[in-house]
Each structure stands twice: as structure tokens, then as C-alpha cells.
Structure 1
Amino acid sequence: MSVPALAYLLLGSNLGNRAAYLQAARTGLAAAGELVATSGIYETAAWGPADQPAYLNQAVGLRTALAPAALLAHCLATEAAAGRERHERWGSRTLDVDVLLYDNLVIDTLSLTVPHPRLPVRRFALGPLAEIAAALVHPQLRLTIAELLRRCPDSLAVRPWAG
């Protein structure tokens, strides 16, 4: 890609020093472009298996020249550098980096789906994203992030983290 794209990512951690893992993610992602927006950090109940610790989540806007697949590879490498192990779907993790949106593109490949397919039903993603991009329009649903948050059926708690 020659013209930098604007990607929105969600960072999450519920193992170990959660805040340090989010900081490591921001540092790792800065190597892929320029962090142009960063939400506050939110503590959220776990999605999926309920018997796991609460998550810290944060949304970031990244201006990057990486193509979508290369950005995904960079996100996966950032997770691996933080010791991410994949044992159980929606299980506990040191770090999770999800590509929520990439410019206004709609992508559906075996390895990457953008917009993130579960974004409209995840308050823990919509809350932080709305803080930094409330007026952004979902390229398929044609609703703003703020409107998606208002309509979100997810009732799990999402609270600003006091640190």
C-alpha cells in the first residue's frame, strides 16, 4: 500500500500484568505505523468462558502503510512477543490484538474478516472504539460506532479502569 490506511484495533489482556501487556502492544504496533488515537483503558467482564479474570481493553487508531494481511501478521507477532498462547477459543490470554476496521474496506478471507464480524455485539470493543471514533460509519451496516454502541445487545459490564 502506498497511501497509509487508518486501521482501528482492539487490545485486550486478562493474564499477568494486564496494563503492561497493553503498553507492550502499543509499543509493538507503533513499529507498524503511527498511533493517531488511543482510548482510555476499560475493565470488562470476560466474553465466552465466564470462569476467567476480567479483561483490560483499549482501542487504538493506527495509520499504517501495511496492507491488511501484513497488519494482521504484525498483530499476531505482537501477541506472540507477549507470550500469547492459543489453547481455547475466547480463553484467557496475555494479549489479544484484533483488527476491527481497516479504512472503509470489507475483507473476507480465511485469515481475516474486516470489519470484525462480532464488533456490533461486543460492548467491550464498541465502548473504547466509540471514545476515539464515535462518528465513524461501519462500512457494511452503515451505522456509526456510537449508534452501534447504543444498539448493542451485550450486557456485560465495561468500566473505565482506575489503574
Structure 2
Amino acid sequence: MERIYIGMGSNLADPAEQLRSAVNALAQLPQTELVGVSAFYQSDSLLPGQPRYTNAVAALHSTLAPLDLLDALQAIENEQGRERLERWGPRTLDLDIVLFGDRLIDEPRLKVPHYHLQERAFVLYPLAELAPADLRLADGRMLSDLLAACPFVGLERLSQN
């Protein structure tokens, strides 16, 4: 089984509850074991005028192929009311494969490591709660270096999930 990290975010329809429901759905995926969930964090949207986001990272062990897992994640998003009206619009749920074992994936539908990872404190800090301190990404970057270059600014760690 490979260790996979899933970034989770929501800024509509009770975001914390959306993430809790997503965690339950992840735990039910076939050929997959949910092995950890970070704390929840709140942050401002990257685009003005949108509600604040609640984010977290989940760690999985899975034997699913990357695109099969992506399809399963998109099905969970759809079940929780995700509407894909615009690329960066508000959403009930966003599930992204951040890391997939030590794989570099460059498919039209999937890029791993996630292509904006180094800019996303709301992904890096929850990821650091679950990943080994010396985690090296498949592209050679160290998680510790990414954290050092992306300060904990604008994030609020919530007291409980």
C-alpha cells in the first residue's frame, strides 16, 4: 500500500461538517485505509469576496491506482454537493491528491505533487502534522524547506475537528 495525502477544503454549507463527512467517506473507500487526519485550519480565500475556507489533510494507505482514487474523490465531492461552475469558485468540498507515495504523476487530469503545494500554507501545515519530519517529495523537495518558505500567516488552527 502506498501512503497518500489528500488535501481537503470547503467554504460553503458548514465547512467543518463537510470535512468531517469527507473523512467518513474516505474511510469507506475500497482498498484504502484512513490512517490519519490533521487538525482543521481556517484561512481566507485566495480570491476576494469568498467565504473563509476550512482545510485539513488526510493520510491514506491504498492500493487504488491514482486515477481510480481521483475518480473516487470526485464522486465524494459530487455526493456532497460540489458544483464545478468555475475553476476557483466557492465549493462545498474540494479533495486534492497532494502526494501519492513517491510517485511523480503528470496526467492531463492529475499532477502530483500538487502543482501549487509550495504556495499553500493551508496544505503544508496540516500535511506536516501527518508526514515524517524528513519527508522528501518525489520531485526532490523537502517538506521542511517548503514550510520554511511558506510562513504560517493567515491560518487559524481550530481547536477541534
TM-score above 0.5:
yes
Q: Which residue of 1 aligns with 2:49?
A: 51
Q: Distance in 2 between matches of 1:61 and 1:43?
A: 19
Q: Secondary structure at the match of 1:90?
A: coil
1:99-133 per-residue CA deviation (whole Å, 9 max, x = no partner) reads 00000000101111111011011111111111111
1:72 to 67, 70, 76: 70
Moved over 3 A (4+): none
- 5+ residue gaps, structure 2, are none
**1:125-144 counterparts in 2 under 5 A?**
125-133=123-131, 134-140=133-139, 142-144=140-142
RMSD: 1.4
1:14-49 per-residue CA deviation (whole Å, 9 max, x = no partner) reads 0011111101111111122111121000011112x2
Q: Secondary structure at the match of 1:71?
A: helix
1:69-125 per-residue CA deviation (whole Å, 9 max, x = no partner) reads 000001100100100001122210000000000000001011111110110111111
Q: Distance in 1 between matches of 2:77 and 2:153?
A: 24
Q: Which residue of 2 aligns with 1:14?
A: 11
**1:4-43 counterparts in 2 under 5 A?**
4-32=1-29, 33-43=32-42
- 5+ residue gaps, structure 1, are none
Q: Distance in 1 between matches of 2:144 and 2:81?
A: 33
Q: Distance in 2 between matches of 1:94 and 1:20?
A: 10
Percent same amino acid among aligned pairs?
39
After superposition, the Cα gap between the structure-2 partners of 1:155 and 1:37, relative to the gap in structure 1 and judged at 3 Å, is closer
Count of residue pairs the alignment pairs up: 157
Q: Which residue of 1 aligns with 2:60?
A: 62
Q: Is the Cα–Cα contact under 8 Å of residues 41 and 57 in structure 1 kept in the other structure?
A: yes
